[in-house]
Structure 1
Amino acid sequence: MSEETAELPAGLRPVAELDLKPALEAVLMVVDEPATVEHLSKLLERPRQTITKALRALADEYTAQGRGFELRFVAGGWRFYTRAAYAPAVERLVLEGQTARLTQAALETLAVVAYRQPVSRSRVSVVRGVNCDGVMRTLLQRGLVEEAGAEPETGAILYRTTNYFLERMGLRGLDELPELAPFLPEAEAIEAETQEGVPSFDPDAPDAPDADDADD
């Protein structure tokens, strides 16, 4: 008997001896973010190729069985998601609960960042036609956008979407965003309208009255 086996409580098997598919299901039920194949391989002590094959088999099984959830590869890892066909049931739960939803202003601002990233705060404001300081602060606090360096010409802080954004949107990468970018102004078209003398705003400062306050 190995030292690892001897230390386990009675009735439990070493990780490497567990049935792979149920073990994957158990782990994926509790992850807070998509689990990479590399991480799962280390946790379950199996080759990456074996893990990948098992994940794809599970995903196919759930689809064939018409389960209310699905296993999807998003943002570089695997995670359970509710199936789109059952969205009305989930939506009712969310609407009846206390979950805070993004306002229309926040969704519009997030869309501009997603399609024009990396982009400065003032350029987002120009595209939307209103000041968006308060909304950008909300998106930062929610972890949907993050700072991405400074613009060389002006020193203005640039923003981009986060991995958490991909996760929440169910996307593998930004290349899966719908074809919406052609409907947004090109960077050159708003260059003259964006004059930023201040690199950024304080994310912790109180919201100043602006056009989006009514929405937030």
Structure 2
Amino acid sequence: MLSAQIESILFVTNRPLSVKKIAETVGADRTEVSKALDEIAAAYNTEGRGVRLLRHGDDVQLSTAPEASALVQAYLKDETTGELTKPSLETLTIVAYRGPVSKAELEQIRGVNCSLILRNLMMRGLVESVGEVGKPETRYRVTMDFLRFLGVAGVEELPDYEKLRSHENIVRVLAMANTPPAVNAASVEEPAPVAANAATAADGTR
């Protein structure tokens, strides 16, 4: 069902999507997508629902209901001030050593969806999205705040940067980024030193 496909895409995406982009993704025309969005809006934009479908021009995005904003803000405060989870540390490590890296490449390395983790890291100010010439997809890199927390002038000063950035396992997995199935994260040796440092850095954001 088209509306279910679109709903799934909007759920895992942490940014607005254009109707054109959605149509290209699901292989439908704009009229069909607009009709499906109307169905999703009718289901969500009613009293008593905690999620809304926002539409601004050609862009659409799922968002929490305004009446739940206080609760959501309180929850997010806890999420962005507590210690980083192991999956977050793993993702942050990959971004630090391989960035700028796309979400698809991250997920190919880790073998799981990274949308929520990326959103959390961005909210903490540790990761930011960037655009690169010739690469249409959004890519991610660590922020200046991340470097400041670790006390380094650039990612090149991270422990064993050159060795770990070009690690043969990671290079091999990235070469398969567009080839299913996803590689099991256990098959990739991830650099541990910066993960521990990142945890310490995250504590400094509290």
Shorter-normalised TM-score: what interval?
Answer: 0.3 to 0.5
Q: Greater share of helix residues, 1 or 2?
A: 2
Q: Which has the higher contact order (CA 8 A, sep 6+)?
A: 2
Q: Scaled by the length of structure 2, what TM-score is found?
A: 0.42
Q: Scaled by the length of structure 1, what TM-score is found?
A: 0.40
